[in-house]
């Protein structure tokens, strides 16, 4: 954790969830404030659930977000969703540049940056994801990859109020594998240091840096106590209220 930065515990339901899942969201909303009084929480649900999800969390400390957005406000883009549409449904955050979108949809750093700027245009907080693949890690390229992704995906104008950075080693996502604590610490320190050069120290030192990749109730305490880890981006364990609240409860 970083002193003076309010942690964010973000869930990403990915392509999971139907109407029946809203009862689980309701349990998260009900239990959130008791689990952690000094953290922000968001669940990024599928767009199909967003408006109803916003209704479910209304009045609680939990917020909802989208998982992706198109850079344009509107237009002939069949199947896409603009950040303005997400905001209209009650989203406060939107994830951009998740590695699954970079891999499945060929999203470049430039596209991710355009999406982040579009999120800001709509008044949303962009959760910009970066992270190395297993091959890049084995080749000793982790820091270079992170620097390149930050330079390309984090636009000028990023601030602590409009942007959150999520470091997700691709090989740790959904695998049950996590880096050594020392490796998480080193990566987050490197990200903070690079952001100082890119955005200025004042902005970089107040920006939330999340760790993502196989965060569970059992390892959240150790991960969240690492310096420069200001929260988590959680996939699988954000689907069950008990697991998500268990992680929220690990905020020191």
Question: Which sequence positions are flagged as catalytic?
Answer: 98, 168
Question: What's the closest the beta carbon of residue 172 comes to ligand G3H, in angstroms?
Answer: 6
Q: Distance between CA atoms of 27 and 245, rounded to whole angstroms?
A: 9
Question: What's the closest the beta carbon of residue 74 comes to ligand G3H, in angstroms?
Answer: 27
Q: Distance between CA atoms of 245 and 242, rounded to whole angstroms?
A: 5
Q: How buried is 205 (Cβ within 10 angstroms: 0-12 exposed, 13-18 middle, 19+ buried)?
A: middle
Rg of the chain over all Cα atoms, to the nearest angstrom: 17
Cα separations in angstroms, 3 against 83, 203, 240: 31, 14, 29
Phi and psi (nearest 5°) for 93? -120, 160
Question: What's the closest the beta carbon of residue 160 comes to ligand G3H, in angstroms?
Answer: 21
* Residue 178 binding ligand G3H, by CB under 6 A: no
Q: What is the DSSP string of 123-174?
A: TPEEEEEE---HHHHHTT-HHHHHHHHHHHHS-TT--TTTEEEEE--GGGTT
Taking CB positions, which residue lies at the least distance from ligand G3H?
Answer: 235
Mark the segment that binds ligand G3H (CB under 6 A) among 84-92, 150-158, 182-190, 210-218: 210-218
Residue 39 and residue 245 in contact, taking contact as beta carbons nearer than 8 Å: no
* Residue 164 binding ligand G3H, by CB under 6 A: no
* Residue 235 binding ligand G3H, by CB under 6 A: yes
- Please tell me whether residue 9 adopts helix, strand or coil conformation: strand
Q: Is 236 annotated as a binding residue?
A: yes
* Residues from 68 through 107 that contact ligand G3H (CB under 6 A): 98
Mark the segment that binds ligand G3H (CB under 6 A) among 82-90, 190-198, 208-216, 218-226: 208-216
* Residue 215 binding ligand G3H, by CB under 6 A: yes
| Count of residues near ligand G3H by CB under 6 A | 14
Q: Is 235 annotated as a binding residue?
A: yes
Residue 199 or residue 208: which is nearer to ligand G3H going by CB?
208
Contact set with ligand G3H (CB under 6 A): 12, 98, 168, 173-174, 212-215, 233-237
**Known binding-site positions for substrate:** 12-14, 174, 214, 235-236
């Amino acid at each position: 954790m970083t002193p003076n930065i309010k942690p964010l515990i973000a869930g990403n339901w990915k392509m999971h969830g139907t109407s029946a899942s809203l009862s689980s969201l309701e349990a998260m909303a009900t239990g959130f404030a008791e689990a952690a009084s000094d953290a922000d929480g968001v669940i990024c649900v599928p767009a199909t659930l967003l408006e109803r999800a916003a209704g479910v969390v209304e009045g609680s400390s939990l917020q909802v977000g989208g998982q992706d957005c198109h850079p344009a406000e509107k237009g002939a883009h069949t199947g896409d969703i603009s950040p303005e549409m997400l905001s209209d449904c009650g989203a406060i955050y939107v994830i951009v540049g998740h590695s699954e979108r970079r891999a499945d949809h060929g999203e470049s750093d430039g596209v991710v940056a355009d999406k982040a700027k579009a999120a800001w245009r709509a008044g949303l907080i962009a959760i910009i994801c970066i992270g190395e693949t297993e091959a890049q890690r084995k080749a000793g390229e982790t820091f270079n990859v992170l620097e390149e992704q930050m330079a390309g995906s984090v636009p000028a104008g990023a601030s602590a109020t409009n942007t959150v950075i999520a470091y997700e080693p691709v090989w740790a996502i959904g695998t049950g594998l996590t880096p050594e604590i020392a490796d998480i610490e080193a990566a987050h320190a490197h990200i903070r240091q690079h952001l100082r050069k890119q955005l200025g120290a004042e902005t970089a030192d107040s920006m939330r840096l999340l760790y993502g990749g196989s965060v569970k109730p059992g390892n959240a305490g150790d991960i969240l106590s690492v310096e420069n880890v200001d929260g988590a981006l959680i996939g699988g364990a954000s689907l069950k209220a008990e697991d998500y609240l268990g992680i929220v409860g690990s905020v020191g």
